[in-house]
Amino acid sequence: MPASQFDAARADRFVSAKWDDDIVPRLVEYIRIPNKSPMFDADWVAHGHMDAAVALMEGWAKAQPIDGLVVEVVRLEGRTPLIYLEVPATGPSVGDDCVLLYGHLDKQPEMTGWDDDLGPWTPVIKGDRLYGRGGADDGYAIFGSLAALMALREQGAPHARCVILIEACEESGSYDLPAYVDHLAGRIGKPSLVVCLDSGCGNYEQLWCTTSLRGLAGGNLTVKVLEEGVHSGDASGIVPSSFRLLRQLLSRIEDEDTGRILLDGLHAPVPDDRRAQASKVAEVLGDEVYDKFPLLPGMTPMSDKLDELVLNRTWRPALSITGADGIPPLASAGNVLRPQTSVKLSLRLPPTLDGKRAGELLKEALLRDPPNGAHVTLDLEKASTGWNAPAMAPWLERAIGTASEEFFGAPAMYMGEGGSIPFMGMLGEKFPGAQFMITGVLGPHSNAHGPNEFLHIPMGKKVTASVARVVTDHHAASLRGETGGGKAALPGTSDRGDHGCC
């Protein structure tokens, strides 16, 4: 059956039944497993939760009725495991051309603030939503990827050879993944299409594809002024407050009134096509650009221009303080001038900015001329470059547009994302001829990494069916010689140094 005869209604029925009968029950089991990423569970090997999640997915995959399916858990010494799956091609031969599909199974930590009837490891279905940590980020990826291929095979629609990689340290920065990609290079081959199911969506009414990802630089900034704490009544006015000095340092890199990053070297020009996409996103989403966040009554966003908010989130640097140390909780805070203050910096970077250089600029700004001779240190944990998608091939743009119309009844949308997926930059370097379809189910209020995270089940179904359409259209494009067949870089070139987590 040529891709032009792909039966969208049949695929929709197959995928929906597969999700209801098989995928959702498995995701319920998966959410119960507290397999936090290694950055958040140093004893992950001893605890065994990661192995439990891997075993669940491995067992499910092996049970799927796909002729020639290869399912293997690959373990390199001292690294998190990786699930490797390979599905043979169907239909007329497209030679060495192939599709690479990607996801991850590790999770963010618990976070506080969950509703009383919800919890990170307590799966709860309310209407169309499956609550719990990791279902949408990114447990559904292996299930959705295989279900999409099964939907094609169920109706005889062709596809190229497909490789699925499910890693286990994405939330820690994917530091193990380069080694696995190099180790498996001969088996992966030369993909001309990469499909990533670990991104977001602006609404649940359209297919959304990610066009860029910000980079990330950050770490622990500490300002120390005393060997030990002293009576605040005795020392204040003589000994500078470590908190005040830390505020001074932060003012070197951020305007506290506007939030604008002050270091020119941390900015990058926004391409014209990305500005146009931001304007379209603002037009389609309207106030949902900011209403999707749980702002308190009376709170206003950082700009009254919606397209500027989109660009702020996707192309401009922004600083967040995500943790603090040296500050006692209020209930045990005495009248003490504390010896030190530490904060964790999370600096999002423009997609095209070199992450290593950004880390250097951060150190230069914060460590020079310490105020009052304070002892200032910056432990730089992350310095990763973002990603800007290559120009989309006409065949892929048509396929994505068709999929959105077929399964959503609305045009496809293109938008940058504010987070990072280290794998994308790495794959962009390793396979410079590849096209990218980066999509996902993390839409309004789904709150990845935070409390009350949920997976929007209908969105998961539609994204799965859309991937099926794009993969079979890839086969047709490959037969016409439009995909380029992929182009691999030399083994060993995939390690880009420090990677940031999403």
Is pLDDT above 60 for 498?
no
171-193 average pLDDT score: 94
Residue ranges of the alpha helices (H) in 240-354?
242-250, 272-285, 288-291, 306-314
pLDDT band at residue 1 using 50, 70 and 90 as cut-offs: very low
Query: Running DSSP on this structure, what letter comes out for residue 456?
Result: E
Q: Which of 418, 440, 287 is nearest to 349 (CA)?
A: 418
Q: What are phi and psi of 495, to 5 degrees?
A: -80, 110
Length of the chain: 502
The set of residues, in sequence order, having a beta carbon less than 8 Å from that of 263 and lying 6+ positions away, is 253, 361, 362, 365
* Type of residue found at 258: T
Band of pLDDT at residue 492, cut at 50, 70 and 90: very low
| Phi, psi (deg, nearest 5) at residue 136 | -90, -20
Q: What is the pLDDT of residue 494?
A: 36
Report d(CA 55, CA 84) in Å as an integer.
13
The distance between the two most distant Cα atoms of the chain, rounded to a whole number of Å, is: 84
Interhelix angle for 24-31 vs 140-154, to 10°? 170
Q: Which domains does the chain have, with CATH numbers?
A: 3-213+386-479 (3.40.630.10), 215-274+314-384 (3.30.70.360)
Torsion sign over Cα 252, 255, 259, 264: negative
Condensed to tens digits (0 to 9), the pLDDT of residues 340-393 reads: 999 999 999 999 999 999 999 999 999 999 999 999 999 998 888 999 999 999
Task: Kindly tell me the burial class for residue 275, based on how many C-beta atoms sit within 10 Å of its own C-beta (0-12, 13-18, 19 or more).
Answer: middle
Query: CB neighbours (10 Å) of residue 402?
Result: 19
User: pLDDT (tens digit, 9 = 90+) per residue, 17-61?
Assistant: 999 999 999 999 999 999 999 999 999 999 999 999 999 999 999
Helix axes 140-154, 8-18, angle to 10 degrees: 140
DSSP letters spanning 228-250: S-EEHHHHBTTBPPHHHHHHHHH
Among 166-175, 214-223, 298-307, 481-490, the minimum mean pLDDT is found in 481-490
DSSP tag of 300: -
Q: Using one digit for the tens of pLDDT, what is the confidence trace for 379-430?
A: 998 888 999 999 999 999 999 999 999 999 999 999 999 988 877 888 888 8
Q: Could you please report the per-residue DSSP string of 401-426? A: HHHHHHHHSS--EEEEESS--HHHHH
**Residue tagged 């045009």 (tokens):** 411
- The pTM of this model reads 0.88
